[in-house]
Amino acid sequence: MGSSLGLCLGKAPTSSQLFLFFAMGTNIQPGTEMEVIVEETLSVGDCLKIMLEKSGLSGDAWHLRKTDWCYEAGEPLCEENATLQELKICSGDTLLLVEGKLPLPGVLKMPIWWYQPRGPSGHWESQDQPHSSSQGNGWRASGTQGAAGHVPAEGSLSYLGDMEISEDTALVDLKFQARALAPSSELAVPAPALLRAWTVESRRPGRLLRADRQQLKEYKLGRRAAICLEPLQEEERLGPQDVLLRTRMRIPGERAYAPAVDLVWDTARGWTAGSLRQKVADLYSLPVEKIEIAKYFPEKFEWLPISSWNQQMTKRKKKKKQDTLQGAPYYLKDGDTIGVKNLLVDDSEDFSTARDDAGRDEQEQLAHGKAGSREVLCAQSSDVVSSAVTPVRPRGPEASLSIHVGSFR
């Protein structure tokens, strides 16, 4: 009673068939999906042919991708001979027809980006500086707006090109081959030893790839990985216990920061706040009790002060707990930005910048907009339900519930 049914043209799928949606490209517009009914024992290659024929497309430069939980392009279906059933494709799933041939097994096809944390003058590059990209949809990392010194922690990303490379290739060989992608007129790419390699996550450098002699397959990059290369002034050798951080000294009275300085922190003695504070104090030649430090969370536009220790209340007693920055709430890792405040000249409690205020305001506006949209949809849904004349079913009499538990002795 009260259910809604839809009348669809065509025969219903049998128990051995799948009802699938599919769309072209990775930017799905609502209402543009097409439908197809196929056998669950059909191979990925044959399913691709059926979808191409129904779309009016031809050629072999296409492949299928799943959609992830947020309805965006996910992992490609690489095994063309595998059946839909083996790959756990279910009725109602949406597949994407994406242009481009899949690389051969054991070969990675990844975009290569150029990461420039500072401009030639040592300042952060501005968003309105010229930027060229060989991709039509090239993007630039967020956080490069405004004048130099007012940007919290970001640099710029420039697209160099796609590279097909074997999983057995060492990281140093990837750096060497990537040099050929950079236009000589735009970028002076140094030797492989003067390049850092990062994965690209959320449009910014993510995981630092350390060992040059390690094979790419040992990093477990996945088929959607992207790599960005960062130039260095001198060769560096990071140990397994070293963490690379970006430290930025706050400019008193300006709500701004000086250009970033790289800090290599040896965590062999532990991921403690006291150890990090001492390392930062040594870097800037300041007394450790005269500095305050905070980690920057760019996705939230927030700074979290790092104290020397925290207290944990227990039922029995109050005790000091050895802090670790590797876990909650800091989750410190390579590439994180650490703001530094010199208490000798700056006694304010605020670490944020004007750009942080603008970013948080924008996030609040987006959240209010989504909430308003949900309220409108709920109101429309309630109007539809109230307009339908559905008899109210009388409630049945309440009955007692008995649970019998067997003896397992």
pLDDT value at residue 267: 93
For residues 229 and 30, what is the distance between their CA atoms, to the nearest angstrom? Answer: 37
pLDDT value at residue 133: 36
CATH 3.10.20.90 location in the chain:
17-99, 107-231, 242-354
The values of phi and psi at residue 240, to 5°, are -65, -25
The answer to whether domain 17-99 has CATH 3.40.640.10 is no
When comparing pLDDT for 237 and 122, which is higher? 237
Least Cα distance to 286 among 207, 359, 328, 345 occurs for 345
Q: Which pLDDT band holds residue 10 (cuts at 50, 70, 90)?
A: confident
Q: Is the pLDDT of residue 319 over 60?
A: no
Residue 354: CB atoms within 10 Å = 12
Interior angle at CA 237, CA 233 and CA 238, nearest 5: 115
State the average pLDDT over residues 101-128.
64
Q: Is the pLDDT of residue 72 over 70?
A: yes
Residues 6+ apart with CB under 8 A from 211: 171
- Give me the torsion for CA of 306, 237, 212, 261, rounded to 10°: 50
Q: DSSP for 311-343, please give it.
A: EEE-SS-EEEE---TTSTTT---TT-EEEEEET
Q: Which pLDDT band holds residue 296 (cuts at 50, 70, 90)?
A: very high
pLDDT value at residue 222: 77
Interior angle at CA 263, CA 175 and CA 205, nearest 5: 45
CA 252 to chain centre: 33
pLDDT, tens digit, for every residue of 29-64?
A: 777 889 999 999 999 999 999 999 998 888 788 889
State the average pLDDT over residues 88-103.
86
- CATH number for the domain formed by residue range(s) 107-231: 3.10.20.90
State the average pLDDT over residues 90-111.
84
Helices (H), 195-331: 273-283
When comparing pLDDT for 305 and 379, which is higher? 305
State the average pLDDT over residues 327-331.
91
For residues 385 and 406, what is the distance between their CA atoms, to the nearest angstrom? Answer: 46
Q: Which fold has domain 242-354?
A: Ubiquitin-like (UB roll) (3.10.20)
pLDDT value at residue 18: 93
For residues 338 and 323, what is the distance between their CA atoms, to the nearest angstrom? Answer: 17
Q: Is the pLDDT of residue 385 over 80?
A: no
pLDDT value at residue 395: 56
Residue count of the chain: 409
